[in-house]
Structures are given as C-alpha cells and as structure tokens.
C-alpha cells in the first residue's frame, strides 16, 4: 500500500514537472523573451486581444499572457491597484479612475487598438425593426421605461404586439457606459429590468433565442455570429446607417461609432516582453483585427499608434 502511494506521488511529481510547454527554460533558445503579462478588462475588446495574445505566445513561447474579462470598469479597478499590466477598455479612462491610478503611482498609457460600431441587434425573425432611431432606442432603454415598456408596440405604435426582451452589457462594461451615455444621455442611466452580462456572448445567445429580443454589443460579435442575429440600422439624425467598418471610419455611423482602447502600465512597458507585445500588436494590427473580425484602425490612427509607441519606448 505504501509503495502504491509513493509511486503515485512520484508519478504526480514527474507529470507536473514534465508537463507543459517547457515554459521553465531560462535561456530560451527561441528569442529569449520570458515573463508574464496580465491583461483584463472589456468584453468587447477581449476577442481582439485574445487573438493577439495567442499569436504573440506562438512567436514567443516563453512568455505567458493571461486574458480575463471583468468588464471595462472591473479591469480599471485592478489596473489602478497594480494587479494587471494591460487594461482593455471600450471607453476612455474616466477621471476618477485616472485619479486612483495616479494616487497609486500607476501611469496609464493609452492606445487605440481598433474601431467599433456598437450595434443594436435583433432576432433574424424580427421583420419590423430594420432601422431604429435614437429616440426609439431611448424609449426602449430609458430608466423611466422600467416596468412600463415591455412590448414593441409601446416603443412605436407601428410595431406589432410582441414581448420586448432586453439583453445587454452590465454596469461594469465600457459598452454599457458608452451606450447609456449616447442613448440615454447620461452614463449609467438605464432601466434595470434587462438581462445584463459582462460577457457579450450571453447577449448573442439571448437575442438569437427570442423573436422579441433586442441587445447591444460590439460589431465583432455580430460578424462572428453571422445569420444568428441581425444588426439594425441606426438613424442618428442623418438617415439609417448600417454598422460597418467604412461607416465608422468615415464617421457616418452616429452616434454609436467609437474607438476601442488598451491601456498599458508605463512601468510594465519598460519590461522587454511587454514592449515586445505592444510592438507586435502595432506591427500586426491589420491582420489581427481582420482575424478577430474587428474594424481596423484608419491610416491616421495607425501611424499615431506607431509614433506613440516609439516615443514611449525610445524607438
């Protein structure tokens, strides 16, 4: 019996020591970069950074990158107490967040990583709402509508009688902040009887499953799930505009076109592996955004990004 136990322990130890992808190799023959990069933040940006992280690790096997999704707000909270190296955000850093960071000696460095058309989605069988105005969206989502507007009919009398089921980002999300700010006029103002989630996947699944459902999230999720949900055109005062890369870059998708951000800790950027990751992204930005189905940076944004990176890291 004792021999069996001893053998079992030995096997466990051996398995553990040998298991894995040799991340303990110190003088890496594969370029020498090693270390851990901790990333957290927005669910909208996660699919993009996950692709970047994965490709970066393929090129640099001794570097470990972890990506968590606590929402834009949650990401900043951890970032500003030093728990993460990089924070993903679907809105710019807020003043009070910035102040907390400064108070803790953390200096955030902002990069725009992609553009996004915040899309409003409906079920494919929804044949009445192909274009929604900002006013109609406001009726749907305003705090005053809580408990009251529970039917499409009440959003607009031309719509049929159909239960209105709402899905969307939760309060920790930058998408949430942006959407409420643009549609309801005040960041954070929203009715609370909807299905909130920090994980935008839940919104897709929810809307797909219910003919009367509506949700809001980043465009990449729509493109990734082609055919399962439909993005409506938005009328921001200049006619109905469908969300697309061009519409965002030329500014016609209003008011829901927006840039997506990533914030590096200045101190972390001084580490070679983190700088390499930032460079990797800047150099491969087009391929990465294409793979992840995101809207790439405009030429102007791209060159600004390179310039900023050069300035921080000294070439």
Name which position in 174, 196, 257, 296 contacts other proteins (CB under 8 A). 196
Name which position in 1, 26, 251, 315 contacts other proteins (CB under 8 A). 1
Cα(23)–Cα(141) distance, rounded to whole angstroms? 48
Residues in 223-282 that interact with other proteins by CB under 8 A: 224-225, 228
Name which position in 7, 14, 31, 36 contacts other proteins (CB under 8 A). 36
**Residue 16 is a binding residue for other proteins (CB under 8 A):** yes
**Residue 47 is a binding residue for other proteins (CB under 8 A):** yes
* Residue from 176, 222, 283 nearest 47 by CA: 222
Name which position in 108, 206, 218, 296 contacts other proteins (CB under 8 A). 206
Closest to other proteins by CB, 276 or 309: 276
The least CB distance from residue 303 to other proteins, in Å, is: 27
**Residue 171 is a binding residue for other proteins (CB under 8 A):** yes
Structure tokens given for 191: 């009715």
The least CB distance from residue 136 to other proteins, in Å, is: 22
**How many C-beta atoms lie closer than 10 Å to residue 195's C-beta?**
15
Beta bridge partners of 68: 40
Long-range contacts of 236-242 (CB under 8 A, 24+ apart): 236/133, 236/134, 237/134, 240/130, 240/131
| Torsion sign (Cα): 140, 142, 143, 148 | negative
Beta-carbon contacts of 286 under 8 Å, excluding residues fewer than 6 positions away, are 296
The least CB distance from residue 162 to other proteins, in Å, is: 9
Q: Which stretch binds other proteins (CB under 8 A): 134-142, 149-157, 203-211, 297-305?
A: 203-211
Closest to other proteins by CB, 232 or 292: 292
Q: Collapsing DSSP states into helix, strand and coil, what is residue 264?
A: strand
Beta-carbon contacts of 139 under 8 Å, excluding residues fewer than 6 positions away, are 145, 149, 154, 155, 156
Closest to other proteins by CB, 86 or 249: 86
Cα(270)–Cα(184) distance, rounded to whole angstroms? 41
The site for other proteins (CB under 8 A) is made up of 1, 12, 15-16, 19-21, 23-24, 36, 38, 46-47, 50-51, 53-54, 57, 64-71, 74, 77-78, 83, 163, 165, 170-172, 188, 190, 192-206, 208-210, 212-213, 221, 224-225, 228, 291-292
């Amino acid at each position: 019996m004792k021999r069996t136990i001893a053998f079992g322990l030995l096997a466990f130890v051996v398995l553990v020591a040998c298991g894995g992808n040799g991340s303990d190799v110190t003088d890496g023959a594969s370029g020498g970069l090693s270390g851990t990069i901790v990333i957290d933040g927005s669910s909208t940006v996660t699919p993009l950074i996950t692709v970047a992280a994965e490709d970066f690790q393929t090129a640099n096997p001794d570097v470990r990158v972890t990506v968590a999704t606590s929402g834009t707000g949650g990401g900043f909270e951890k970032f500003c107490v030093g728990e993460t190296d990089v924070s993903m955000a679907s809105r710019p850093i807020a003043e009070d967040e910035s102040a907390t960071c400064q108070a803790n000696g953390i200096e955030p460095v902002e990069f725009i990583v992609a553009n996004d058309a915040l899309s409003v989605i409906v079920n494919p069988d929804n044949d009445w709402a192909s274009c929604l105005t900002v006013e109609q969206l406001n009726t749907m989502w305003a705090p005053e509508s809580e408990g009251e507007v529970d039917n499409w009919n009440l959003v607009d009398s031309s719509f049929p009688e159909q239960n209105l089921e709402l899905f969307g980002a939760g309060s920790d999300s930058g998408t949430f902040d942006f959407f409420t700010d643009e549609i309801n006029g005040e960041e954070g103002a929203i009715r609370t009887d909807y299905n909130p989630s920090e994980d935008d996947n839940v919104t897709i699944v929810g809307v797909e499953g219910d003919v009367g459902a509506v949700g809001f999230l980043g465009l990449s999720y729509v493109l990734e799930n082609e055919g399962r949900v439909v993005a409506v055109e938005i009328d921001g005062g200049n006619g109905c505009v469908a969300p697309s890369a061009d519409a965002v870059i030329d500014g016609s998708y209003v008011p829901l076109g927006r840039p997506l951000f990533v914030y590096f800790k200045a101190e972390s950027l001084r580490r070679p592996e983190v700088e390499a990751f930032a460079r990797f992204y800047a150099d491969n930005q087009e391929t990465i955004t294409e793979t992840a189905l995101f809207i790439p940076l405009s030429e102007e944004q791209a060159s600004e990004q390179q310039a900023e990176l050069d300035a921080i890291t000294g070439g």
